């Protein structure tokens, strides 16, 4: 029965329904619930006490008594899949998030997710995570960079990309799905079985027309001794049955041939065999896989050596052959595996890997040279430029320079996107830093001079609200551990806008130019200025914040649109009159 508490101020239709199945987790439930209750935003919490025999139920009731957003449901023990389905049937939110009771979420996670959901309106918000161990060590999950922070359609991904992003990597708690989407497709968790989230994840992801892939780690996945994921489970029959159901679904949905990697993954789960199947059950496990292989025959073409060996082990029911496959799977035998695959596989996979490595090395070599990741029609003098592409580095010209452009600066592409465009004979002095975080990038026109020590930044990279940026440093540290600086950065509340500096402008040393600013032709920014608004053409601005000083000397080539730009900038009436007169040729 539901142990309901008064719900007068509970939002009738919250944005999130957070479902927390709980069974004998008295040591961990409080940490989980505190991390959720501390969130701001529109949400409800449904705790499903799955017949716990310890103090789990009492802890849940205690939280519900003090927080009207919480509902507690006490049920008989039926397993994780049934508990999740029980909570789903009672969810009222627009999105449903299943959170395991021994895990917890990051501060302000719901606030940041809300911003992203309102912007992209995905059917599924796919959440990144950190794995946290009992000794306190934390490791950031690496989401493939080409898919980070964007909408995708999983069914349109290539076989390789789907395997890299999802497959066994997808957990139920990573999938925050629209409740209407789950209901329309009648998606539910298999009950009375382990590994229930594999089929749920496979079905929800492959059917979705829009999945937002978040690189920011909003979830902390706790690995404790004795948990299902860390123990060598003896219930291998459940794994065989779930794999069979997954293969059946893939066949019925016509994905089996289009995603051969998934076919091989479910019929030849070598890693699972090595890690989770105890010695005394291995023959039984191989026999179960053999039945799956008979029902869903797997073409031997395209398999690696270890996959071919394990297929033989499954066919023959031979743990000895499986042990050999496991040896070949090891990192020390990678070259042997490539050498003994068929010529067709070697040409298709081996040469592809070799070509990728050669391309990467050539790319790195080229971009460390004199041109410094620069592409252009002529020779640019980028002798001392340091170009840093964070999160993911693509084989693209991050800097597009015209003849004679001179770049002696540090250019940071925060998200691995965007481009710095330098006009003919533009010059950017040493000690200057340019930070680019949006696709349109920064454009510096011809004959522009940016003096030394300037900062040109197209976004507010960190929130002014300390609660918003509370874990920015920690996430940066986790990203650095993976050698991918910036990977864990959440861009939900970061506003980035292009910067444009017109021809013949001059930016004084130690100045700062912020996102969305356009500096007009022939304008001058005084040394040490902070520019956060547009600067009209042929105007001198200075100060912190930069303000109009006077018109720049010399010939001024006004255009009709410049009058409107000057008017929006609030220039004095006498200056506006002078601009109008000069435009009229008086």
CA proximity to 286, closest of 314, 252, 307, 265: 314
Q: Give the domains, in start order, of the chain with CATH numbers.
A: 2-231 (3.90.550.10), 254-358 (no CATH), 371-460+495-554 (2.160.10.10)
The Cα–Cα gap between 455 and 433 comes to 5
Q: What is the pLDDT of residue 535?
A: 97
pTM more than 0.85: no
The Cα–Cα gap between 537 and 524 comes to 9
Q: What is the distance, to the nearest Å, from the Cα of residue 395 to the centroid of all Cα atoms in its chain? A: 20
Mean pLDDT for each 10-residue chunk of the chain (586 residues)? 43 88 95 96 96 96 96 94 95 97 94 93 96 90 77 87 81 96 93 81 93 93 68 68 87 84 84 83 88 85 81 87 80 42 50 48 39 45 76 78 91 90 94 94 97 95 79 83 81 89 97 97 97 97 97 94 94 95 85
Look at the block and give the residue holding tokens 């508490």: 5
End-to-end CA, the chain: 86
Phi and psi at 9, nearest 5°, equal -100, 5
Give residues with Cβ within 8 angstroms of 485, minimum separation 6.
Answer: 390, 391, 476, 479
Q: What is the pLDDT of residue 1?
A: 43
The Cα–Cα gap between 468 and 471 comes to 8
Look at the block and give the residue holding tokens 């459940």: 238
Angle at 269 between CA 268 and CA 273, to 5 degrees: 120
Helix (H) or strand (E) holding 322: helix 319-329
Give residues with Cβ within 8 angstroms of 294, minimum separation 6.
Answer: none
The contacts found for 241-244 with CB under 8 angstroms, 24 or more apart, are: 241/193, 242/190, 242/193, 242/194, 242/195, 242/196, 242/198, 242/199, 243/267, 243/269, 243/289, 243/292, 244/291, 244/292, 244/295
Instruction: Beginning with the edge strand found earlier in the chain, give each strand of the sheet holding 442-444 in spatial order.
Output: 374-375, 399-401, 420-422, 442-444, 499-501, 518-519
The Cα–Cα gap between 570 and 572 comes to 6
Q: What is the pLDDT of residue 370?
A: 33
DSSP 138: E
């Amino acid at each position: 029965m539901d142990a309901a508490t008064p719900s007068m101020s509970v939002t009738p239709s919250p944005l999130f329904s957070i479902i927390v199945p709980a069974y004998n987790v008295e040591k961990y439930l409080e940490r989980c619930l505190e991390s959720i209750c501390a969130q701001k935003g529109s949400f409800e919490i449904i705790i499903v006490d799955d017949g716990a025999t310890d103090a789990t139920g009492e802890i849940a009731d205690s939280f519900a008594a003090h927080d009207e957003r919480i509902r507690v449901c006490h049920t008989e023990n039926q397993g994780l899949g049934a508990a999740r389905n029980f909570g789903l049937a009672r969810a009222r939110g627009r999105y449903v998030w299943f959170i395991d009771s021994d895990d917890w979420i990051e501060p302000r996670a719901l606030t940041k997710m809300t911003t992203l959901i309102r912007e992209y309106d995905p059917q599924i918000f796919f959440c990144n995570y950190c794995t946290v161990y009992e000794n306190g060590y934390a490791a950031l999950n690496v989401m493939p960079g080409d898919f980070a922070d964007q909408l995708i359609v999983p069914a349109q991904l290539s076989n390789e990309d789907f395997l890299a992003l999802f497959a066994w990597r997808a957990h139920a708690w990573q999938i925050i799905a629209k409740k209407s989407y789950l209901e329309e497709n009648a998606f539910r968790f298999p009950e009375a079985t382990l590994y229930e989230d594999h089929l749920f994840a496979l079905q929800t992801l492959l059917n979705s027309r829009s999945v937002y892939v978040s690189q920011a780690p909003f979830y902390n996945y706790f690995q404790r001794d004795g948990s299902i994921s860390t123990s060598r489970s003896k219930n291998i029959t459940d794994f065989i049955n779930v794999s069979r159901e997954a293969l059946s679904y893939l066949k019925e949905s016509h994905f089996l041939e289009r995603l051969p990697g998934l076919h091989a993954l479910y019929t030849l789960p070598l890693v699972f065999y090595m890690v989770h199947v105890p010695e005394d059950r291995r023959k039984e496990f191989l026999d179960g896989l053999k039945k799956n292989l008979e029902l869903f025959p797997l073409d031997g073409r395209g398999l690696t050596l270890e996959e071919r060996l394990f297929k033989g082990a499954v066919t023959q029911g031979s743990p000895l052959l499986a042990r050999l496959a496991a040896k070949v799977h090891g990192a020390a035998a990678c070259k042997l595996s490539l050498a003994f695959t068929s010529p067709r596989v070697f040409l298709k996979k081996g040469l592809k890997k070799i070509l990728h490595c050669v391309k990467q090395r050539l790319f790195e070599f080229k971009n460390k040279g004199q041109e410094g990741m620069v592409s252009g029609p002529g020779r640019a003098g980028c002798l001392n430029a340091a170009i840093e592409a964070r999160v993911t580095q693509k084989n693209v010209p991050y800097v597009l320079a015209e003849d004679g452009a001179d770049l002696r600066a540090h250019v940071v592409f925060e998200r691995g996107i965007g481009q710095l465009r330098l006009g003919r004979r533009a010059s950017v002095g040493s000690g200057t830093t340019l930070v680019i975080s949006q696709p349109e990038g920064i454009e510096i026109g011809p004959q522009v001079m940016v003096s030394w020590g300037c900062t040109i930044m197209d976004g507010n990279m960190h929130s002014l609200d300390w609660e918003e940026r509370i874990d920015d440093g920690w996430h940066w540290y986790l990203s650095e551990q993976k050698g991918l600086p910036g990977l864990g950065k959440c861009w939900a509340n970061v506003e980035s806008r292009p910067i444009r500096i017109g021809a013949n402008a001059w930016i004084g040393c130690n100045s700062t130019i912020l996102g969305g600013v356009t500096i007009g032709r022939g304008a001058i920014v005084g040394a040490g200025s902070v520019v956060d608004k547009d600067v009209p053409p042929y105007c001198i601005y200075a100060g912190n914040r930069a303000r109009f000083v006077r018109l720049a000397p010399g010939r001024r080539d006004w255009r009709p649109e410049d009058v409107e730009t000057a008017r929006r900038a609030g220039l004095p009436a006498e200056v506006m009159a002078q601009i109008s007169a000069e435009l009229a040729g008086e």
